[in-house]
Homo-oligomer: A and B are copies of this chain.
Amino acid sequence: MTGSGRTPSVRPFLSSSASFAAGDDTPRAFLERCLEAHAAWEPQIGAFVHTNFAAARAAADAATARWQGGKPLSGIDGMPVGVKDIIQTEDMPTEMGSPLFAGWRSGWDAASVTALREAGAVIVGKTVTTEFAASHPRGTRNPHDVKRTPGGSSSGSAAAVGAGVISAGLGTQVIGSIVRPAGFCGCVGYKPTVGAINRGGSLDYLSQSCTGVLAATVQDAWQVAIEIAARVGGDPGLPGLEGPMQPPAPVKPRTLALLETAGWRIASAEAKAALEKAVERLKAAGVKIVTRGSHPEVEAAEQAIAEAVSVSVRINDWEWRWPLNSFHERDASKLSRVMLDRMARTATMRPDDYRAALTERARARAVYAKLAGICDGGLTLTAPGAAPVGLESTGNAVFAVPGSMLGVPAISLPLLREQNLPLGLQHTGFAGSDAAAIGIAAWLVQTLGGEG
Contacts and interface: CB of A to CB of B under 8 A. Distances in A.
Interface of A: 90, 101, 104, 106-111, 114-115, 117-118, 198, 200-201, 205-208, 229-233, 236-240, 242, 318-319, 321-323, 325-327, 329-330, 351, 354-355, 358
Given A90-B326, A90-B330, A351 B237 contact: no
Instruction: Give the most central of A104, A115, A325: most B CB within 10 Å.
Output: A325
Given A104-B107, A114-B329, A330-B108, A319 B351 contact: no
A107 B101 CA distance: 9
Contacts of A200: 205, 322-323
Contacts of A327: 108
A321 B111 CA distance: 9
A109 B236 contact: no
A321 B107 CA distance: 17
B236 A205 contact: yes
Given A236-B207, A351-B230, A326 B114 contact: yes
Contacts of A322: 110-111, 114-115, 198, 200-201, 232
27 contacts: A90-B330, A104-B107, A106-B106, A107-B330, A109-B326, A109-B329, A110-B322, A111-B322, A111-B323, A111-B326, A114-B322, A114-B323, A114-B326, A115-B322, A201-B322, A201-B323, A205-B236, A206-B236, A208-B237, A232-B322, A232-B325, A233-B319, A233-B321, A236-B319, A237-B358, A239-B354, A242-B351
Instruction: Give the most central of A90, A205, A236, A358: most B CB within 10 Å.
Output: A236
B107 A229 contact: no
Contacts of A230: 351
Nearest to A322: B111
Given A114-B329, A326-B90, A329-B114, A321 B231 contact: yes
Nearest to A318: B233
Contacts of A329: 90, 109, 114, 117
Contacts of A242: 351
A107 B106 CA distance: 10
Contacts of A358: 237, 239
Contacts of A233: 318-319, 321, 351, 354
Contacts of A208: 237
Contacts of A107: 101, 104, 330
Contacts of A108: 323, 326-327, 330
A330 B319 CA distance: 32
Nearest to A113: B326
A201 B322 CA distance: 9
A229 B236 CA distance: 21
The 4 residue pairs across chains A and B that have the minimum distance between CB atoms: A207-B237, A111-B322, A207-B236, A232-B322
A100 to B, nearest CB: 9
A64 B239 CA distance: 49
B236 A321 contact: no
Nearest to A195: B237
Nearest to A319: B236
Contacts of A207: 236-238
Contacts of A101: 107
Contacts of A236: 205-207, 319
A347 to B, nearest CB: 11
B232 A321 contact: yes
A207 B237 CA distance: 5
A322 B354 CA distance: 30
Contact of A229 (B106, B240, B351): B351
Contacts of A321: 231-233
